[in-house]
Amino acid sequence: MMRVQGRRRSGMGARAELVAAGIVEVAVAAAAIGMVVLGGCQRSEDREGDRRAEVEAEAQARALTSVIAVDRARARLRHDEIGHGRFAGRASFVLVDAENRHHSDVIATLGGELVDRAGASTAAFLPTSLRIPAGGVRTFALVSQDRREHLQATEARIEVIGASVPRYLPTVMVTEGSVHRDGDRVVAQGRVQNTAASPVRALVFAGFYDEAGTPMTRPFREVYIPGGDSQVVMFVGPDGSRKGYIFIGDVVY
């Protein structure tokens, strides 16, 4: 009888061990499932965070484009020569001013298309970007994407297709700017100052206007300026010009 009781105790112990093992297996499985669920939740939260950041960036970009005012009423369509040297050619382009009404500098990108009298598109513009200081104005030259003349074009549809606040201060700037009359035209002059320690190549532009404030020409030249140095530049406006200014375009270090 003792042996029988002993065997019974042994059977109950085995069952207890099996139950305990089963509990451990269930606990391990539950922990693994929990880790998978938590990992999935984390990835889902990351995706949602990325999406929220994208939505906020898009909203900020839309808000910035609304502070760029394009003077479409005084845009000038031209079919003329563009470029210099081996890049010279003839193309249709539009000169148009854009004003930055934001409290900080904005890099604005304009685009759009040329249209004929019937309103049909004849050519798209190459998107063009310029840094516009807070409260300032810059003259854009929107050139047909194929860099060809489209003589059937009679007007342009111009859009602000991008805007962002630069994360850096300008290192090349125009100082001592002046404009004076020279017969039936004006001459714009200024000193281009490189405040960086390294040398730069900068595109320097001038914008000239007629009596009504319509853009006439936007000549440019590339200048090389050593670090901490400056260079005087001068642009002569076309006959009939009454106003002009000088500004900086792309800068390569």
Return per-residue pLDDT of the chain as tens, 253 residues: 444 344 444 444 545 454 445 544 555 455 555 555 555 666 666 777 777 777 776 677 778 999 999 999 999 999 999 987 888 899 999 999 999 999 999 999 999 999 999 999 999 999 999 999 999 999 999 999 999 999 999 999 999 999 999 999 999 999 999 999 999 999 999 999 999 999 999 999 999 999 999 999 999 999 999 999 999 999 999 999 999 999 999 999 9
**CB neighbour class for 68 (10 Å; exposed up to 12, middle 13-18, buried from 19):** buried
Residues in the chain: 253
- As a whole number of angstroms, the distance between CA 236 and CA 215 comes to 14
- For residue 218, which of 81, 65, 70, 73 has the smallest C-alpha distance? 81
**CB neighbour class for 191 (10 Å; exposed up to 12, middle 13-18, buried from 19):** middle
Which pLDDT does position 31 carry in this prediction? 53
Specify whether the CB–CB gap between 253 and 245 falls below 8 A.
no
Residue 35 DSSP symbol = H
- For residue 99, which of 59, 127, 139 has the smallest C-alpha distance? 139
What is the residue type of 238? P
Which pLDDT does position 55 carry in this prediction? 76
